[in-house]
Amino acid sequence: SQPEKTEHKFRCWRSSSTKVLLTLLSFSIQNFGQYLSINLAFGIGVTLGIHAAGGISGAHLNAAITITHCILGNLPWIKLPAYVIGQFLGSFTAAATVFGIYYDALYDYCKGNFTVTGPTATASIFSTYPAPYMSLPGSFFTEFLATVMLHLGILIIHDEKNNRALRGTEALLTGILVLGIGMGMGMNTGYAINPSRDLPPRIFTAIAGWGTDVFTAGHYWWWVPITAPILGSLTGVFIHKIFIDFHNPPVTGSKQSCKTPDNYAFIES
C-alpha cells in the first residue's frame, strides 16, 4: 500500500541518515582521532541504524544487499525503489548535515578551495577513495571481498539452522562485524561496501563545490563502490549456501523464525 511504502522510505531515510551521519562525522575529525575511532563510529552508526528501522523494513541500509535479496526472490522487486530511495535520501541528508556542521572548519582548512586530491583534499570525508598506491583492479577486489565478508557475516549472525546469535544482539554484532571489516580491510579503499553510503554523498560533494573531480579521481573509481558490493553481496550468499546452509538440517517447530525476508534485521551497512 502507499502508506506502507511511505513508511518504508521514511524508516530507510532515518536509519541511513543516522548511520552515515555518524560515519561522516568520524571522518571529519580524523585528524583529532585515530583509525580505530573512525571505525568505531561506523560500527555504532550501523547498530543504531538497524535499531531505528529494523521493525518495519528489516533495516535495509545497504542497496547491494537489498538488490541481492530481490535477485534471489526474498524481497519483491516492487519494494526496491522505496528502499533505495530511502537509503539514498538518508545518506544525502547526512552528507549535507556534516557539511553544514563543519563548513567553517572546512573553509578554514582549505581556504574555500574544496579539492579531491592533494595536500588539502577533503572529499574523502564524505565518500570513499582508493589509496594512492591502489590500482583500479586491486580496489575493485578489495571492495568485492569486503562485501563478501559483510553479507556472509550477516547471514551467519542470523542463521536459524546454525549457531545463530542470541536474539536482540544482532544489531550490536553487525556493528562489530563492520568494525572488524574496517579494521582488517579498510585501509586500501575506505571500505564503502554499500552503494547507498558512497554515491549520494559523492553527488552532494559534486554539487557543494568539489565538482566533477569526485567522479574522475582514482582512475574513475566512483563506479566501483556501486558494482563491487553488489557482486560481493551475491557471492557472500552463495558461499553461505554452499559451505554452511546446505549442510545443516531444515529448521522445524519452535526454532522456525517468524520473520519474513523483508522484515529481517540484517540488511546492513
Give me the residue label for grid cell 580496489: 139
The predicted-structure confidence for 51-61, as pLDDT tens digits, reads as follows: 888 777 778 89
What are 64's three cell numbers? 547491494
Q: Are 116 and 129 in contact (CB under 8 A)?
A: yes
What pTM value is reported for the model? 0.85
- Percentage above 90 pLDDT, the chain: 65
Q: Which residues of 185-198 are buried (b: 16+ CB within 10 A; e: fewer)?
A: bbebbbbbbbbbbb
Q: What is the mean pLDDT of residues 186-203?
A: 96
Is it the case that residue 257 has pLDDT exceeding 80? no
Nearest to 10 by CA among 46, 67, 45, 55: 55
Q: Which residues of 62-100 are buried (b: 16+ CB within 10 A; e: fewer)?
A: bbbbbbbbbeeeebeeebbebbbbbbbbbbbbbbbebbe
- Percentage above 70 pLDDT, the chain: 81
Does residue 121 sit in helix, strand or coil?
strand
Name the more confident of 155 and 268. 155
Name the more confident of 31 and 150. 150
- Tell me the C-alpha distance between 162 and 4, whole Å: 33
5-9, 22-26, 239-243 — which is least confidently predicted?
5-9
Nearest to 87 by CA among 52, 68, 62: 62
The predicted-structure confidence for 77-108, as pLDDT tens digits, reads as follows: 999 999 999 999 999 999 999 899 989 989 99
Which CATH architecture is the domain 2-247 placed in? Up-down Bundle (1.20)
What integer pLDDT is reported at residue 6 of this predicted model? 47
